[in-house]
Structure 1
Amino acid sequence: MPEIRELDAKTRDRIAAGEVVERPASVVKELVENALDADATRIDARVESGGTDRIAVSDNGLGMSESDARLAIDEHTTSKLQSVDDLDSIGTLGFRGEALHAIGSVARLRIETKPRGGSRGTELVVEHGDLLSCGPTGCPEGTTVEVTDLFGSVPARRKYLKTEATEFDHVARIVTGYALARPDVAISLHRDGRETFATTGDGDRKSAVMAVYGREVASSMLPVESSGGDAPLSGVEGLVSHPETNRAGREYVTTLVDGRYVTAGAVREAIVDAYGSQLAPDRYPFAVVDLRLPPGGVDVNVHPRKLEVLFAEEAEIKAGVTDAVESALSEAGLLRSRAPRGRSAPEQTEVSPSNPDAGSRSSDEARVDETKPDRSSQPDRPSPVDSAPESKIDDRSTRIDADDRTADGDAASTLSSRSDPDTTDAAATPDTVDAVESSPKSDDPRAPDQSGTRRDEPGSSPARNASRTTQRTLDGASTTGTPSGFDRLPALHVLGQFDDTYLVAESDDGLLVIDQHAADERVNYERLRAAFDGDVTTQTLAEPVTVGVTAREAAIAEEYGEALAKLGFRTHLDDDRTLAVTTVPAFLADHVGETAPEIARDLLGEFLGGDPDGTVEAVVDDVLGDLACHPSIKGNRSLREGTIAGLLDALDDCENPYACPHGRPTILEFSTEEIETRFERDYPGHGGRRR
């Protein structure tokens, strides 16, 4: 049996350092927070090679004496806590006394510091846990901390770092967060000797926004101010953008708690919820929102990195933030009133042989009423289950496939603007353009029947062209009656629509329920994918189109220029905040028109997850999946007979008809055997007569 031994001090330090120092951005965060706690009015952060080669943070704060500097590199030494009681009312950004010790354990650390009014400075050098030197030096008042050879003593950790661009992006997010949190402090960021941004420190938050995001974003920001009143929320203050100023990523929603930059998912969700239907499901606003909480209302001692916090009354805080942002948007006249769900749905068009001309009716004829009828008040409605031999989709002996289509089964989708999620004139077939009317907007525009899960929310990562989705029974187990070998849909006998969202059909083996939005999304995605395969045909713009970019986007534009070119975008920076687009993919120009250059800007953020060459295909999938989603038939839309036939024809032609491009199933199948078992038709004494 192995003997239990106490770990030596150096091993313990390296293990503990991993909790604090995860990547270069972790180092920058700790050093910037120390500078702010030291009452600095000017902070300059510089990184080289994404922070893997060198990090230097300088400030004009209080500085340290030699004795304090020696003590500061020891474990659990701090000037910010006196007793355990102080943990209940922490007023500083740092308090654990771990940062410098942890950094010095996994890197080479050099500190130059001089106290305000002091006569001399101190230089101290630590290399991977060992103090090499400490003595007097000439330096200005304040502190400069330089970190090199990060993770040099733990190469396994260095191996898992991302590209330089990705690591710098994490650094930029941290510095940006504190530049927006503390507009009264002049904060600058340099990458490889070039300035990324610099705030003036004049105390104006909108001025700080302009420095890091650009004039276009700053001019769209609206003030948010709420006194909050009673606990648990004392107040809300900050800025939010006009709904039309948005991005595809949530990293521009900056959340603060009492001036502390944190990644509070609940607060970010509350901010986005306030926009309601004014934002597309895959778009996020720019926001800087600072919550003021009473003592004891938040626990910042949740994790050593101090980015996560725990609210005592999260639901009430979310409601308060949403109300504050909604008020700001309403005062600016940017929130429209929202009708209750279902109030503007078109009347259901029957899938019934009693209406043989349904496939040729105009949309005006199909639009009987602006209000979705109460089904319970219509006992004399013809049943969509009734069938007639001449109706192709109702003839269970006739297969719906590409070789025997109806005239309205061409399924040529009309793709609309990627930036307009409410498009109503595009769907699976030409008939759909006439047949599908405007759908009701739910109170939550991110409801699954609109576009599935949000792409950048947890649990919503795309699974394009994934293997066939596992089907489930009513109690959640894998089905036993779903065939595992066929590539096409079985012969179907369509029974009708359920809840204006799902198609119900019968096959030889059981009952199928088809999500009309997911099915049409798959059809649109595969058509776009086919158009994109091979060499990308580009369209040169008559004149370069310029789009505003943030400091973060500008910092990576040149590095990822070739990756964008592989997708058909030729770009260059006109200045620090302007990206010029000269060519776009031809198929995007056809389908999204003037918004195509804006997609180039959104794509920059997509490349930050890894090597550009390795992520081009994934980025293409993301873009095509989003483009396929918006024009697809939505839930809560009634469909005509011909539209359903065309949609099923097109779905049958897909390489993978069983999942939408985001990985959600398009079809659920319930076998005859399963249904009979659920109804207990095989109970003893039934005499074997199961029919």
Structure 2
Amino acid sequence: MSDESIPSQDETEIHQLDEDTVARIAAGEVVERPASAVKELVENSLDADASSVDVTVEDGGTELIRVADDGHGMTEADLRAAVREHTTSKIDGLEDLESGVATLGFRGEALHTIGSVSRLTIRSRPRDADGAGTELVYEGGEVTSVEPTGCPAGTIVEVDDLFYNTPARRKFLKTTATEFAHVNRVVTRYALANPDVAVSLTHDGREVFATTGQGDLQAAVLSVYGREVASAMIPVEADGDELPPGPLESVSGLVSHPETNRSSRDYLATYVNGRAVTADAVREGIMGAYGTQLGSDRYPFVTLFLEAPGGAVDVNVHPRKREVRFDDDDAVRRQVDAAVESALLEHGLLRSRAPRGRSAPGEAQVEPGGDRGSGTGTPDYESTTLEHSTGAATPARNSDNNERDPAPPAADDGTDDAPSPADPEPASTDTEASSSEADASTERTSRSTADTSESERSSATTTEPSTDRDHRTDAETTAGSTATAADSSPSAARDDESQADRDATANADRTFRAATEQRTLTGEAATGEETAFESLPPLRVLGQLHDTYLVCETPDGLVLIDQHAADERVNYERLQDAFADDPTAQALAEPVELELTAAEAEAFTHYREALSRLGFYADRVDDRTVAVTTVPAVLEKTLDPDRLRDVLTSFVEGDREAGAETVDALADAFLGDLACYPSITGNTSLTEGSVIDLLEALDGCENPYACPHGRPVIVRFDETEIEERFERDYPGHGE
């Protein structure tokens, strides 16, 4: 290598960026959209001890943002310093950051970064100052003028033409309705967090909401969500010994009745030490408290305040300060769950858990059966033991591992055939069936034992020994037996029990049990014959896995089909066909009035055309109320008028995620959501006939390989992959 190709020690391609480029990069982290600027400015107003904060935006905040407060105010020297990078009056150094930041802002970046991507004007006068205030104009990162001006005590910040000098960022902003939805969400959060501050929001000259500032949280909820929601809120108050061990010192606020809910998480307003934040542990704790009282896609209205020592929570996670990190997420989840659940129980909105100890009534308890002679001590997962217990019963658990709604005591049918705890393999009785059915809804998430499989699948399959082992599936092997009407008599039960004992003795030394055969509801053996399709590959149905996936053989391997995603795709394309021309609409006998939240009311203004495109016709009664006169009728079902709220949410969130701006695109996004509701769910046992019907309908779809939300419908495992997993190409192990 020649000396000429070697750079000298003074030469380098690494260089420092100019101040303007650095400012634009920093602005991109802090000011993502108009709502980001609103958030920073409102936080500054609250930190300035304002008793009133007025927010005005135009065109969703893209043309104008104006935040006026009556806080401490600033002098000319304060203003000049405030727009410099990394200047703040809220912390002095690292010690303040590590001990827990008491103010909402602390980075010293807001005014500098907002001014870097907009035309910023600040007018301010200290509360205790006489005479004129000061006006500072800051444009594109440069102070262009500073002069005296007449203004009230406090601070007024105006942000004009946001992102005028960063066209790429401005290009990727969403519709006006969606950008305003973000602004509304931010202002609402701080209005609810500070009921002692009068907060107002105005959009395009129309007041969206205004709180009184009288310190009443219920009144603040009334202002932003409306009377219907406010009347459905109940108080949460737990601290000290009322909470499980964990970092939180208290949990307080308001949560709604389970019946008052929405399809969006936007109404989950949670705060840590007064800061509006999102945290998975907090959200999971809230939803866990509601348990099965809410559908998987429904969310309550929540305004919840968490207090924690500064050292237990890290607020310096992200430049926008929306996320926090706890030192013990699991403990926080348990504490929030306990606090919210206690409030719901107190108001009779949840069924109480079974009492503990001696006071527990006699209950039917289903447990895995004992060892069936294998000598290994391993529980037999193909049998169950039904015990009548006077002690504490083990409650059912939902998917979040929260104890919920144990099954009610089994009814006494007056027979003498109830099995005793000593019976190793009791016969199926009416009592057992009743208990299994009661537990089915909460036990489906746990499939470690076959008692769950038996209760869920007994209506669809029966099992019997078979010598056909080549095509046996796990679902077939673990499927429970269904007793016929004739077999439900006491004598038949005893005969079955005796036969089971004989079978257990005969097979005691066998590691694997005999193959089983899947059957249809009529009792006939499922043929599993190969079916030819036009779009899908030829499939030979083998059975179901976990009552959720169809297991099929193909000429070159194996496929799993998600039955919910498949049915969702089928329904979606049917809806597309139904709405291709004019949707079928059903006029209501009388208009149905719906009260909307501030966000929903604003969205209604922008999306009336899209609503009518779907068949929803509604007239505005007042600022917060609409009268629905016509609803769409789809798939032989008329939608409820209150689904209009979900449609509005779907429009806003669809645009938020995909940037859909046309009426047709918004309507199509809603059809994807609508297709989900009537679709077959997971944990649903299907007969062979319904499986074939579903596959034939899926084969007729334009795109049978993905649901309308983009999830895969079919997962394929080709023969090569299967052979590699079993290492069939290992030297010396050829066939």
TM range (shorter): 0.7 to 0.9
Of 233, 239, 243 in structure 1, the residue corresponding to residue 258 of structure 2 is 243
1:342-393, Cα deviation, whole Å (9 max, x unpaired): 45535153378999xxxxxxx9979999xxx99x999799831699xx9796
> Residue 654 and residue 591 in structure 1: after superposition, are their counterparts in 2 closer, same or farther (change >3 A)?
farther
Aligned partner of 2:689 in structure 1 is: 642
Of 565, 569, 572 in structure 2, the residue corresponding to residue 522 of structure 1 is 569
> Residue 315 and residue 602 in structure 1: after superposition, are their counterparts in 2 closer, same or farther (change >3 A)?
same
1:399 pairs with 2:531: yes
Aligned partner of 1:268 in structure 2 is: 283
Aligned partner of 2:112 in structure 1 is: 101
- Within 2, Cα distance between the matches of 1:77 and 1:367? 84
Aligned partner of 1:210 in structure 2 is: 222
Contact 1:40 1:59 in 2 (8 A): yes
Aligned partner of 1:569 in structure 2 is: 616
Of 133, 136, 145 in structure 1, the residue corresponding to residue 157 of structure 2 is 145
- Within 1, Cα distance between the matches of 2:643 and 2:21? 53
Aligned partner of 2:460 in structure 1 is: 349
Q: How does 1:18-57 map to 2 (within 5 A)?
A: 18-57=28-67
Q: How does 1:31-180 map to 2 (within 5 A)?
A: 31-87=41-97, 88-120=99-131, 121-180=133-192
Percent of aligned positions that are identical: 56
SS of structure 2 residue aligned to 1:586: strand
Of 529, 532, 536 in structure 2, the residue corresponding to residue 488 of structure 1 is 536
AA partner of residue 92 (structure 1): T
| TM-fit CA distance, 1:621 | 4.6
> Residue 190 and residue 595 in structure 1: after superposition, are their counterparts in 2 closer, same or farther (change >3 A)?
closer
AA partner of residue 127 (structure 1): E
Contact 1:393 1:645 in 2 (8 A): no
- Which of 628-637 and 574-583 deviates more? 628-637
- Within 2, Cα distance between the matches of 1:190 and 1:367? 72
| TM-fit CA distance, 1:595 | 5.0
Contact 1:659 1:665 in 2 (8 A): yes
- Which of 60-69 and 218-227 deviates more? 60-69
> Residue 399 and residue 106 in structure 1: after superposition, are their counterparts in 2 closer, same or farther (change >3 A)?
closer
- Within 1, Cα distance between the matches of 2:707 and 2:28? 40
1:582 pairs with 2:629: yes
Contact 1:353 1:386 in 2 (8 A): no
| TM-fit CA distance, 1:617 | 4.8
Q: How does 1:234-313 map to 2 (within 5 A)?
A: 234-313=249-328
> Residue 382 and residue 147 in structure 1: after superposition, are their counterparts in 2 closer, same or farther (change >3 A)?
closer
AA partner of residue 31 (structure 1): L
Aligned partner of 1:554 in structure 2 is: 601
Q: How does 1:531-680 map to 2 (within 5 A)?
A: 531-587=578-634, 590-593=637-640, 595-606=642-653, 608-609=655-656, 614=661, 616-671=663-718, 674-675=721-722, 678-679=725-726
Aligned partner of 2:385 in structure 1 is: none
Is there any run of 5+ residues in structure 2 with no aligned partner, and where? 1-10, 352-404, 407-438, 445-451, 467-481, 489-495, 505-512
| TM-fit CA distance, 1:148 | 1.3
AA partner of residue 55 (structure 1): I
The count of residues paired between Structure 1 and Structure 2 equals 589
Compute the TM-score of the two structures, normalised by the length of structure 2.
0.73
> Residue 76 and residue 583 in structure 1: after superposition, are their counterparts in 2 closer, same or farther (change >3 A)?
same
1:51-90, Cα deviation, whole Å (9 max, x unpaired): 1221111111111222222222222222211232111221
Aligned partner of 1:335 in structure 2 is: 350
SS of structure 2 residue aligned to 1:46: strand
- Within 2, Cα distance between the matches of 1:523 and 1:354? 36
> Residue 392 and residue 622 in structure 1: after superposition, are their counterparts in 2 closer, same or farther (change >3 A)?
farther
> Residue 488 and residue 75 in structure 1: after superposition, are their counterparts in 2 closer, same or farther (change >3 A)?
closer
- Which of 182-191 and 129-138 deviates more? 129-138
| TM-fit CA distance, 1:320 | 1.1
SS of structure 1 residue aligned to 2:606: coil
- Within 1, Cα distance between the matches of 2:485 and 2:679? 20
Contact 2:518 2:525 in 1 (8 A): no
SS of structure 1 residue aligned to 2:144: strand
Contact 1:183 1:199 in 2 (8 A): yes
- Within 1, Cα distance between the matches of 2:487 and 2:321? 58
> Residue 63 and residue 367 in structure 1: after superposition, are their counterparts in 2 closer, same or farther (change >3 A)?
farther
> Residue 32 and residue 4 in structure 1: after superposition, are their counterparts in 2 closer, same or farther (change >3 A)?
same
- Within 1, Cα distance between the matches of 2:176 and 2:705? 39
Is there any run of 5+ residues in structure 1 with no aligned partner, and where? 356-362, 402-485
1:79-115, Cα deviation, whole Å (9 max, x unpaired): 2112321112211111122212222222222222111
Contact 1:607 1:615 in 2 (8 A): no
- Within 1, Cα distance between the matches of 2:642 and 2:485? 33
1:536-566, Cα deviation, whole Å (9 max, x unpaired): 2322223222222110111121121112222
Question: Which of structures 1 and 2 has the bigger CA Rg?
Answer: 2
1:14-35, Cα deviation, whole Å (9 max, x unpaired): 3323222222212211111111
> Residue 601 and residue 140 in structure 1: after superposition, are their counterparts in 2 closer, same or farther (change >3 A)?
same
Contact 1:557 1:572 in 2 (8 A): no
SS of structure 2 residue aligned to 1:43: strand
> Residue 70 and residue 634 in structure 1: after superposition, are their counterparts in 2 closer, same or farther (change >3 A)?
closer
| TM-fit CA distance, 1:507 | 4.5
> Residue 382 and residue 591 in structure 1: after superposition, are their counterparts in 2 closer, same or farther (change >3 A)?
farther
| TM-fit CA distance, 1:3 | 4.9
- Within 2, Cα distance between the matches of 1:218 and 1:314? 30
| TM-fit CA distance, 1:649 | 3.6
AA partner of residue 529 (structure 1): Q
SS of structure 1 residue aligned to 2:516: coil
| TM-fit CA distance, 1:681 | 5.2
Contact 1:489 1:652 in 2 (8 A): no
What RMSD in Å do the two structures reach over aligned CA positions?
A: 3.5
Of 500, 503, 517 in structure 2, the residue corresponding to residue 384 of structure 1 is 517
